[in-house]
Structure 1
Amino acid sequence: MGGHCAHVDKPYYLHAKHMYNLDRMKYQRLKMPIFVFTCFSIGVVVPLYVVIFQQRKTAST
């Protein structure tokens, strides 16, 4: 599937080494902080939720 239409967009064809070309991203100044904040939030909220859930589970028995 991937790469069959490479002749259509030759200069913009995404190959492995150009896959994450962030300087050509539209609205980069808006998207990147939102992405970083989202990843950081998930990395903080999920472990906190797991710890609280686990402590409630052990306290109720």
Structure 2
Amino acid sequence: MGGGHGHDEPFYIHAKHMYNLDRMKHQKLKVTLSVLAAFSIGAGVPVFAVIFQQKKTASA
């Protein structure tokens, strides 16, 4: 088992079931929240960048 590539390590067992969306508790809630979080980050970063850029330009 040199180099840590043995396939009996716990995270390999976990990884098989990591994306088991059918058995996830509160599936709809978690999926909705993660989609909203991803969307708000994706929309929020450019808005923040524009505001930051305008403040920098105005103060110069």
TM-score calculated relative to the size of structure 2: 0.68
Distance 1:30 1:24 in 2: 13
- What RMSD in Å do the two structures reach over aligned CA positions? 2.2
* TM alignment of 1:1-61, pairs within 5 A: 2-3=9-10, 13-15=13-15, 17-61=16-60
Q: Which runs of 4+ in 1 moved over 2 A?
A: none
Distance 2:32 2:54 in 1: 33
Query: Can you give the 5+ residue segments of structure 1 that lack an aligned partner in the other structure?
Result: 7-12
Query: Can you give the 5+ residue segments of structure 2 that lack an aligned partner in the other structure?
Result: 1-8
The size of the alignment, in residue pairs, is 52
Distance 1:39 1:52 in 2: 20
Distance 1:3 1:40 in 2: 32
Write 1 or 2 for the structure with the bigger share of helix. Answer: 2
Give how far 1:19 is off.
Answer: 2.4
1:3-35 residue CA offsets vs partner (Å, 9 max, x unmatched): 28x8xxxxxx423x5421111110001111011
